[in-house]
Chains A and B, each alone.
Chain A
């Protein structure tokens, strides 16, 4: 490209010639190789690059979603200032957690007692309508978090309470009594605090500073009610 780099400007500095007069002198010699590919390669490497997930195996698809859910679980269990839950929100995790919690919390006996524990549908409604109400409240107060991001965070932060439910059921297998109750109370209290701290870490930044407490209080109430349902579960 040596000749091509020769610009008419060089001639102009030597002698005042009309503009673009030297263009005809520029030529591309035959021995300069023109390189590059203009054909689109149809290799397997390129097929992965064009983001089509239609051809992958079912196991691969499921594992990808499960890994995403698992990664978010880790983010909840070790709450750090990160945007992972907010950026790639999904509702699979909350659904899994809510169904697990509702299945474990529902009345185990069908002896027709009038006042018993919550039914499956009641737990489901409390969790989802509670989350929707808190999200609406946060948006109405002027927060800049999107609807589904907030649902995602609230749903994922039920994870500690689901773990508490599992532990409570295991502890209840050993029979009931005051010591049993103390252990369950302690576990539920710790997990409740964990849930509130985890969700506040994600949600607090989205509110203007003079309304943070107004947005956080409903979250506190929400997890308190769920903790109460877990603590009062009797088989």
Chain B
């Protein structure tokens, strides 16, 4: 039981990488709800054990338990309590963003990057950036599509910012809430080795939305094919991050329930991206149809310029 002194944020990472080299360490998951850890190594067949340990990561040591226990000790009405959710450095945020962009099969985002230090900085500001990226890109794209038309008068469409904000923030907070509730309910029925706290789920969802920021900017290109290819790529990356994160949490459950959960997660993600594309970005070809109020001359001109 070597207890090292911890400098804030620094040896945490070193300890985890050291332990990663030792896959035989018992893995204990620390929950945020304050319940005692209920993840004793189960005396089951070894069919999924190595996979489990690989996916869980090996950061859970005594130091982690102590540190996690020390961190959330302020009562929730003090400012210090909320400061614990912003206890990240610049390079940690960049690492987490990188982890969400490059999902490695077999590596769990939460275990590898979040590591019992979920932050709210990333989810909040990624969502804010995404809201404005979608609204501004949608506006720009509509402007470029309708550029040649005589009956088009440019409007900044500022109201769409509020709509985008509602959609994105509702997705980033309500879906994790529902998922967390569902996982807790299943946990009470089936003993799971892996379970996530609410903040860790929010963290995963927030960082998985990062890929949509460059996607939204690239959606300005008014070509249908390009847009759908971008949707596929973005969905592939962020969907796989989510699926690989939540698969260990539902795997011990009934096969059908596990599959249904993962499919629902991915489906909601698909709904979000396709919905945003459809609502904020006008279709490139449809709006080149001539309007009925134009004279035949202008109709021909408009049709030719599309």
Contact = CB atoms under 8 A, between A and B. Distances in A.
A206 interface: no
A117 B136 CA distance: 13
B86 A118 contact: no
Interface string B149-174: 00000111111100000000000000
Contacts of A108: none
A115 B129 CA distance: 21
B86 A140 contact: yes
Given A142-B83, A218-B125, A221-B128, A114 B89 contact: no
B93 A214 contact: yes
A233 B125 CA distance: 26
Contacts of B121: 137, 140-141, 214
Contacts of A217: 125
Contact of A117 (B90, B124, B158): B158
B125 A234 contact: no
Q: Determine the interface band of chain B, counting residues with CB < 8 A from chain A.
A: 20 to 34
B203 to A, nearest CB: 15
Interface string A209-234: 01111100110010011001100111
A117 B156 contact: yes
Contacts of A211: 88-90
A116 B156 contact: yes
Nearest to B121: A214
B21 to A, nearest CB: 27
B82 interface: yes
B91 interface: yes
Nearest to A231: B156
Interface residues of A, number: 27
Nearest to B120: A140
B132 interface: yes
A54 to B, nearest CB: 37
A225 B158 CA distance: 11
A122 interface: yes
Contacts of B82: 140
A135 B286 CA distance: 45
B139 interface: yes
Contact of A234 (B83, B86, B129, B154): B154
B215 to A, nearest CB: 18
Interface string A189-222: 0000000000000000000001111100110010
A115 B125 contact: no
A206 B196 CA distance: 35
A141 to B, nearest CB: 5
Interface in B225-270: none
A196 to B, nearest CB: 16
Contacts of B88: 211, 214
Contact of A233 (B83, B90, B132, B156): B156
Interface in A75-111: none
Interface string B89-102: 11101000000000
A140 B158 contact: no
Contacts of A31: none
Nearest to B9: A210
B134 to A, nearest CB: 13
B9 to A, nearest CB: 8
Interface in B83-134: 83, 85-86, 88-91, 93, 121, 124-125, 128-129, 132
Given A221-B132, A228-B136, A214 B90 contact: yes
Nearest to B89: A210
A108 to B, nearest CB: 12
Contacts of B91: 210
B255 to A, nearest CB: 42
B159 A225 contact: no
Given A142-B83, A234-B154, 17 more contacts: A113-B155, A115-B157, A115-B159, A115-B160, A116-B155, A117-B155, A122-B158, A137-B86, A137-B125, A140-B82, A141-B121, A212-B90, A213-B90, A214-B121, A217-B125, A229-B156, A232-B154
Interface of A: 113-118, 122, 137, 139-142, 210-214, 217-218, 221, 224-225, 228-229, 232-234
Among all A-B residue pairs, the 5 with the closest Cβ atoms: A232-B156, A140-B86, A115-B157, A118-B158, A210-B89
10 contacts: A114-B159, A116-B155, A140-B82, A140-B85, A141-B121, A211-B88, A214-B89, A217-B125, A221-B129, A228-B132
